[in-house]
């Protein structure tokens, strides 16, 4: 690991994308995604060569931890450190800030001795060539390609929704009732970086039905499971929203999928698409959390002669008001943004004992879920709360016993522990 560490100090200066900051009682942690400035400038501005070059870059996740008074100085140096702002980071032994560096792909700590750096905001002239190179791949996916991917998926029998325990992140699936095998994943994330401790040590997923992966938005806690838990996910087809202002690690991930012809981009002018298992909605808000894709899933089960159908909201991290009308009624939902802050009214419930799920990791850096948000949900009539930290969850499952995996748990770790 030390050779990686000395590589890091040698490749200075860096262009650092700010993920935002997190305040607690003791101080502030500002998080960055950094890439060597010269290596990024070697990436062609456009054309297919841009994607293959992007996919080869080495990127770093960097945290700067500061007491409250020093945070004011950092704000002066880099402008306000909000999500999406770019800085130049010069590593130097006399630098002003101490860096905690991880390789952004492997999530491994690099330095025992923490390097130091200076920071300054990028000028508009410096910013433009950076943003051009780091933009997500522009892929023109047609509606018929998306339909072929999603509607072509035979969903022949009863289904349910699962929410897996991946730590501070999100990974859900629409599963076949008989085998509990995912027919489609909605997000493939996990706890990473500051929340690496929340990620399960080992986890194997099921790809027996060649499930496509619908990505809600381009935050690492929603896609890094494909790197850090089970890289077989990289061989599946991904359907993702085109989003602006992403970090280099994200663009690199997308470029890799694109180079392997596994990335489809949701068309800008498509506000929703009805598919046999529900509706995929393009969220109406701004920033990464609120401008991605949400799923209103329709699943069904049979009991004797009767067929029951269920409607479940999977919002990713979007505001409820970014997705649909607040009068829409659901049988179940996954609380948005890991139970953190959001916008819009809690969805309306139906049934006697409506269930909602929350995906988060114990002792996460954001202190999710927030008590106030949980009260809002309970006050809106949702009676039962299931947490992924207590095990994998099935929603809209009507059997008395837990769903059983077709492989009996020999091939994957997706056994359901809560219904
Ligand atoms: Zn998230
Ligand atoms: Zn997010």
Threshold 0.85, pTM exceeds? yes
CATH number of the domain to which 295 belongs: 3.60.15.10
Higher pLDDT, 44 or 1: 44
Ligand nearest to the CA of 218: 2
Ligand nearest to the CA of 292: 2
Host H or E run for residue 241: strand 238-241
Mean pLDDT of 142-167: 88
Question: How many whole angstroms from 245 Cα to the centroid of ligand 1?
Answer: 16
What is the total count of domains within the chain? 2
DSSP code per residue over 180-239: --EEEEE------GGGGGGS-S------TT---EE-S-S-GGGTTHHHHT-GGGGGS-EE
- The verdict on residue 416 lying in a domain is no
**SS3 label, residue 102:** strand
Ligand nearest to the CA of 187: 1
Q: Find where tokens 């040698």 sit.
A: 10
Question: How many whole angstroms from 216 Cα to the centroid of ligand 2?
Answer: 9
| Pick from 107-116, 247-256, 265-274, 315-324: least confident | 107-116
pLDDT score recorded for residue 6: 75
Q: Which band of pLDDT confidence, cut at 50, 70 and 90, is reported for residue 326?
A: confident
Closest residue by Cα to residue 139 from 251, 226, 248: 251
pLDDT in tens, 341-364: 999 999 999 888 899 999 999 999
- The verdict on residue 407 lying in a domain is no
Question: How many whole angstroms from 49 Cα to the centroid of ligand 2?
Answer: 29
pLDDT score recorded for residue 4: 64
Q: Tell me how long the chain is.
A: 419
Q: Which two tokens stand for residue 190?
A: 């996990």
Mean pLDDT of 214-239: 98
pLDDT surpassing 70 at residue 274? yes
Average pLDDT, the chain: 94
Asked whether the beta carbons of 89 and 39 are under 8 A apart, the reply is: no
pLDDT surpassing 80 at residue 113? no
Question: How many whole angstroms from 258 Cα to the centroid of ligand 1?
Answer: 23
Question: How many whole angstroms from 386 Cα to the centroid of ligand 2?
Answer: 20
Handedness of CA 48, 52, 58, 62 (dihedral sign): positive
Ligand nearest to the CA of 290: 2
Distances (CA, A) of 154 to 125, 150, 209, 273: 50, 9, 10, 17
How would you class 23 by CB atoms within 10 Å of its CB: exposed for 0-12, middle for 13-18, buried for 19 or more?
A: exposed
Give the residue from 134, 169, 198 where a domain finishes. Answer: 134
Ligand nearest to the CA of 359: 1
Ligand nearest to the CA of 20: 2
pLDDT score recorded for residue 1: 47
**Backbone angle region of 330, left / alpha / beta, with phi > 0 → left and psi within -120 to 50 → alpha:** beta
pLDDT in tens, 36-70: 999 999 999 998 899 999 999 999 999 999 999 99
Question: How many whole angstroms from 148 Cα to the centroid of ligand 2?
Answer: 28
- The verdict on residue 52 lying in a domain is yes
Question: How many whole angstroms from 75 Cα to the centroid of ligand 1?
Answer: 25
Q: Which domain holds residue 361?
A: 143-395
Host H or E run for residue 312: strand 306-314
Q: Which band of pLDDT confidence, cut at 50, 70 and 90, is reported for residue 154?
A: low
* Percent residues over pLDDT 90 in the chain: 86
Are residues 105 and 206 both part of a single domain? no
Q: How far apart are CA 68 and CA 73, in angstroms?
A: 10
- The verdict on residue 413 lying in a domain is no
Question: How many whole angstroms from 289 Cα to the centroid of ligand 2?
Answer: 5
Are residues 292 and 364 both part of a single domain? yes
- The verdict on residue 419 lying in a domain is no
pLDDT surpassing 50 at residue 127? yes
Question: How many whole angstroms from 333 Cα to the centroid of ligand 1?
Answer: 15
Question: How many whole angstroms from 243 Cα to the centroid of ligand 1?
Answer: 15
Closest residue by Cα to residue 379 from 343, 418, 349: 349
- The verdict on residue 408 lying in a domain is no
pLDDT surpassing 50 at residue 14? yes
Own/partner contacts of 253-257, CB < 8 Å, gap of 24 or more, are: 253/223, 253/226, 253/227, 254/136, 254/137, 254/218, 255/50, 255/51, 255/52, 255/54, 255/55, 255/137, 256/55
Are residues 233 and 326 both part of a single domain? yes
Are residues 174 and 83 both part of a single domain? no
pLDDT surpassing 60 at residue 195? yes
Are residues 260 and 292 both part of a single domain? yes
Environment of ion ligand 2 (residues, CB < 5 A): 219, 289, 317
């Amino acid at each position: 690991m030390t050779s990686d560490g000395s590589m890091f100090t040698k490749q200075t200066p860096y262009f650092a994308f700010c993920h935002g900051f997190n305040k607690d009682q003791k101080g502030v942690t500002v998080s960055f995604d950094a890439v060597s400035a010269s290596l990024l400038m070697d990436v062609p501005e456009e054309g297919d060569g841009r994607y293959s070059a992007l996919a080869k870059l080495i990127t770093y996740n960097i945290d700067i931890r500061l007491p409250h008074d020093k945070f004011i100085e950092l704000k002066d140096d880099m402008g306000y450190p909000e999500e999406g702002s770019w800085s130049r980071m010069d590593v130097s032994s006399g630098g002003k800030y101490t860096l905690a560096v991880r390789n952004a792909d492997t999530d491994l700590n690099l330095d025992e001795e923490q390097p130091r750096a200076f920071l300054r905001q990028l000028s508009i002239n410096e910013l433009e060539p950076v943003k051009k190179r780091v933009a997500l791949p522009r892929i023109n996916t047609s509606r018929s390609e998306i339909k072929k991917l999603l509607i072509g998926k035979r969903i022949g029998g009863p289904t349910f929704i699962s929410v897996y325990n991946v730590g501070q992140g999100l990974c859900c699936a629409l599963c076949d009732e008989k085998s509990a095998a995912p027919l489609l994943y909605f997000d493939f994330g996990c706890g990473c970086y500051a929340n690496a401790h929340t990620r399960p040590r080992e986890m194997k997923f099921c790809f027996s039905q060649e499930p496509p992966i619908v990505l809600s938005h381009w935050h690492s806690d929603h896609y890094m499971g494909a790197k850090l838990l089970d890289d077989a996910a990289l061989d599946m087809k991904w359907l993702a929203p085109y989003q602006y202002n992403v970090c280099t690690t994200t663009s690199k991930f997308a470029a890799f999928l694109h180079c392997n012809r596994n990335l489809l981009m949701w068309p800008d002018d498509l506000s929703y698409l009805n598919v046999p298992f529900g509706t995929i909605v393009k969220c109406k808000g701004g920033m990464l959390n609120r401008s991605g894709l949400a799923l209103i899933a329709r699943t069904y089960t049979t009991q004797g002669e009767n067929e029951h159908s269920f409607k479940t909201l999977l919002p990713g991290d979007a505001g409820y008001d970014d997705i649909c009308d607040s009068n829409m009624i659901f049988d179940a939902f996954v609380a948005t943004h890991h139970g953190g802050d959001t916008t819009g009214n809690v969805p309306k419930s139906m049934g006697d004992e409506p269930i909602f799920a929350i995906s988060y990791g114990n002792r996460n850096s954001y202190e999710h879920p927030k008590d106030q948000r949980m009260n809002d949900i309970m006050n809106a009539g949702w009676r039962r709360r299931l947490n992924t930290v207590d095990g994998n969850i099935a929603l809209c499952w009507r059997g008395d016993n837990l769903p059983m995996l077709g492989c009996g748990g020999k091939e994957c770790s997706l056994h359901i522990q809560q219904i």
